[in-house]
Chain A
């Protein structure tokens, strides 16, 4: 008997009020009015707590509070967003080599599931953490969690381009896509580590057979770095064609592609979730900051991400633009992990030494500095800032040691030079110790100045420990870094503060802490138990409890140092777009957006 995912969630369904109580309703700030009753997916009933309006300041975390305005939508128009990258890209969805190509692919091709987004779905709630159907309209998970059964959504059409010509998607497309994905896709290794094989028992069903139960896999079904998209069988059979033509199911159809110049997409009228309002999306490639800036001021592009310290200058240059605080990444965290070399003899085999390293840096000060917190506060803008802990800042499970939420061990995170001295003495290193810190200096060995400056802000703290923590920065090119650090953890020392990737916290926990993966310098069966338990817990609440346990454990042990925290990046947008609250992890939901009638250059 299979247990329907929907059933399991609904059975444990927590009303929104309780969800907020569980998370403490903290960290998300804005005054919101809780609707009585459901008012969930269809977006009715919630008052707009803050607004997107010319000249306003708006945080993306409040997207959920916006009202659906589809009824007033004005069709057509051209939405122009600048792209910064300079690299050339591949069209074959399975042969992408970098995030740029992934992003391009995600315009045309779709995943089986997508993240649950829309009016009323607040970040930090279980709803927000669920996945809903995309190309699959139903998912059933077996009781033992080893089978995921996807149901083919009927009447999904492919793009009206030869040789596919608008045909309806069928199970053969799914089967051939998955076969090909498992065989050759560049992003498939992690997926293949979880999925053993795929079967298609009937014309409407596809089943993933897992090696072990995994809630993480569920959450990563729309992760561009992990999950398969669906391509038509004609392209799966003809790789040469797949390299030159993008034919998918998504509402973007590639209409004009000039390498290094622009990518232009037109809407797919037959899109399964409804014809998009916007007629075209233009993505001009503008690598130069000054150029992007001038295009934004001239109102030719809709958005612009300024240098963080230039935010207020740009605001005065473009007072009618909305200042938008981007959403914090709730599924990844920064970490500084130790290398495995000589781990039996090095000073940091002792947890007191590791904690000393953590306490030697005033991370909240570093974070505030990097986030330009004080300047924003002086202007009346409360930057969302979460200092780094061992888990991502998802309100569902995040415990904040700076608020004492980890009990006595909370102090292990807090800056205190006297404590550093004590800890090192207790560990037997009264004169301090030396450690190499490895930095990824980019492909050609030159990271941007801002990155370097940032590294400087925390390494200097080590210099100020009166010689107790003697950090030796080592800058490696990207290849060397991957070789020594990411692959094999084959180094002696610690790596710089770097974010984990992936759209699920399990990625972070498994790869960095579990002895079943090759990275951790401190294998620990007790920790493995917790990690496995959280992966197999499909209920978000239950899972959150395990992750809290994990946090409490790490607060004592510090196998890894958390590093920097998370804060909003800011961007500017002209207020021409409506219905942005449907945006998913990739490009899902953007077909519901529409452009206001009186915007400049509405027709490109």
Chain B
């Protein structure tokens, strides 16, 4: 029966080509999950804290409600529940004032993630612009920029941050700007070699011959090729920012003391390792999750997206 065959063909064809963007994204994710289960697991590890923190305290997920941040005075009574361990009503226990620890971690993660995204945004913009400008446009500028990049590279992150914090104070903006600049410059090196490679490809030349403007060539051909690297760096960058921030907190240069960032929480828990080890355990666990998740996800993404990699099985 021709009609039924045609119809079923049609349906098959429809199934094979999901049309809406959202459908495409979802099917992409599913495929990714199937091909790279480890990466998908990493993605989950990475995004659970992010989502929890973004939608923050008060979020009701049906099974579990994220309690409101107890910086507000009504939410704790002086002397009650101090340093209580994890229990059914407070799944991560309570801190030295009796505040719910889970709420504090969720709230604290927010600032860490804002910093992480901020650093990513800033560094991506810087590295992309720098690379494109130097590698694509002006050779002479390229040389100077290369030197500049090498130089900035020699300033080590943690050291520089300590120095800068002592002068400007430890604020998120300072952290974002410094890390963004440093990372932007550093990643532009890798980007640059990639851009040069791609630029040398015949089809770029062909595009130019047809009359495509530089902008169009960059946007349609070059950026997609290097885009994956930016994405991979992003996934790493987020967790790295958290790591840097907590490292700084440990040596006494943490951010806004009022804010329960993961680093601040970790730092404040060192004295209690005997009586309340969970105070250090949970922030440590979250950091661990973030780092592990971002690493797994990043590696998987690189395998999938990098056109050059031959899947050597990392």
Residues of A within 8 A of B (CB): 288-290, 293, 306-307, 309-310, 313-314, 317, 365-366, 368-369, 374, 441-450, 452-453, 456-457, 460-461, 463-464, 475, 477
Contact = CB atoms under 8 A, between A and B. Distances in A.
7 contacts: A307-B271, A309-B275, A317-B274, A444-B253, A445-B169, A446-B257, A449-B96
Contacts of B169: 444-445, 477
Contacts of A447: 257
Nearest to A306: B271
Contact of A444 (B96, B97, B166): B166
B274 A446 contact: no
Interface stretch (B77-85, B137-145, B204-212): B77-85
Shortest 9 CB-CB contacts between residues of A and residues of B: A449-B268, A460-B73, A307-B271, A463-B73, A446-B257, A313-B275, A313-B274, A369-B79, A446-B254
A452 B72 contact: no
Given A457-B97, A477-B169, A307 B272 contact: yes
A450 B268 contact: yes
Centre residue among B82, B166, B249, B252 by max chain A CB count within 10 A: B252
B268 A310 contact: no
B165 interface: yes
> Could you say which interface size class chain B belongs to?
20 to 34
Interface in B81-124: 82-83, 95-97
A366 B77 CA distance: 11
A175 B252 CA distance: 43
Contacts of A317: 274
Query: Which secondary structure dominates where chain B touches chain A?
Result: loop
Contacts of B171: 445
B35 interface: no
A441 B252 CA distance: 12
A319 to B, nearest CB: 15
A453 B97 contact: yes
A453 B78 CA distance: 11
Contacts of A310: 271-272, 274-275
Contacts of B170: 444-446
Given A444-B252, A457-B97, A475-B257, A309 B274 contact: no
A199 B185 CA distance: 66
B273 interface: yes
B257 A450 contact: no
A368 B268 CA distance: 21
Given A446-B257, A450-B271, 15 more contacts: A289-B271, A306-B271, A307-B271, A310-B274, A310-B275, A366-B78, A368-B79, A369-B79, A444-B166, A444-B252, A445-B257, A446-B253, A446-B264, A453-B95, A457-B78
A289 B264 CA distance: 16
Contacts of B72: 463
Nearest to A463: B73
A476 to B, nearest CB: 10
Contacts of B146: none
A41 B306 CA distance: 85
A106 B154 CA distance: 43
Interface string B237-274: 00000000000010011111110000010011011111
Centre residue among A309, A446, A463 by max chain B CB count within 10 A: A446
Contacts of A288: 270
Contacts of B256: 445-446
Contacts of B73: 460-461, 463-464
Nearest to B263: A446
Contact of A448 (B166, B268, B275): B268
Given A444-B253, A457-B97, A463-B73, A314 B274 contact: yes
Nearest to B97: A453
Contacts of A452: 257-258
Given A446-B252, A464-B73, A374 B79 contact: yes
Contact of B97 (A314, A365, A456, A477): A456
Contacts of B272: 307, 309-310
Contact of B96 (A313, A366, A453): A453
Contacts of B78: 365-366, 369, 457, 460
B170 to A, nearest CB: 5
Contacts of A460: 73, 78
Contact of B264 (A313, A374, A441, A449): A449
Contacts of A457: 78, 97
Given A444-B252, A449-B268, A309 B258 contact: no
A141 B35 CA distance: 92
Given A445-B170, A450-B268, A309 B253 contact: no
Contacts of A443: 166
A461 B73 CA distance: 8
A565 B170 CA distance: 31
Contacts of B96: 309, 449-450, 453
Nearest to A365: B78
B273 A290 contact: yes
Contacts of B83: 309
Contacts of B82: 309
Contacts of A475: 257-258
A441 to B, nearest CB: 6
A449 B267 contact: yes
A307 B274 CA distance: 10
Nearest to A362: B78
Contacts of B249: 446
B257 A290 contact: no
A369 B98 CA distance: 12
Nearest to A366: B78
